Amino acid sequence: MGARRQFTLRRILLLLVLWLWLGGCDRLSGPAMTATRSTGPDPSAPPPLATVVGDGVGLAFLGVERAERPGVPDVATPASPSLPYLMVDVSLWNAGRHGVPFSLSYFTLTDDAGHEYPIGYAKTTQGASSLLGRGQEVHGWLGFVTDAAARGFVLVYDPRRYAQRHNLPLDADTQELAPLQIALGR
């Protein structure tokens, strides 16, 4: 009986390890980090303030706040125009391409005077970079340190510009992507 019980325990342990390895651990930790939809931003989220779709890539601007330090803005604290971080709530999704390259380095913020601000902080549902399959989306807050007097901000997603600036080779998918731009209204 002892050998049979030991065999059953080994079998249960092996099945548990196999289940976790095949993705069962996602079921333990809640929903997966990436949504699979091809229609755009999360329908349960507030409506986007602006959306642009081009070349099978969608970009939605969901909100903007000023913050004293990087992080997701605290809506209970009033935002002052003099605070250094401009926090932008955005979603980027694959609206029908084979793959959409995502990297935090592909996003910049420009103002009406032509100054360009790189990302200083980000909290997204993906890591720092990935390839979004059809219908996949990444959502999060991007933080930029800006001049307090700057106005007329435009958020830019442009993988080609980043690759060209750093002398990196472009794959065929990235070469075809046109930049996406959304005016933030500030």
- Report, at the CATH architecture level, how domain 50-183 is classified: Sandwich (2.60)
Exposed, middle or buried: residue 111 (CB in 10 Å: 0-12, 13-18, 19+)? buried
Question: What pLDDT band is residue 176 in, cutting at 50, 70 and 90?
Answer: confident
Note the pLDDT of residue 43. 59
The answer to whether residue 80 scores a pLDDT higher than 90 is no
The mean per-residue pLDDT over the stretch 12-40 comes to: 38
Give the domain ranges of the chain.
Answer: 1-30, 50-183
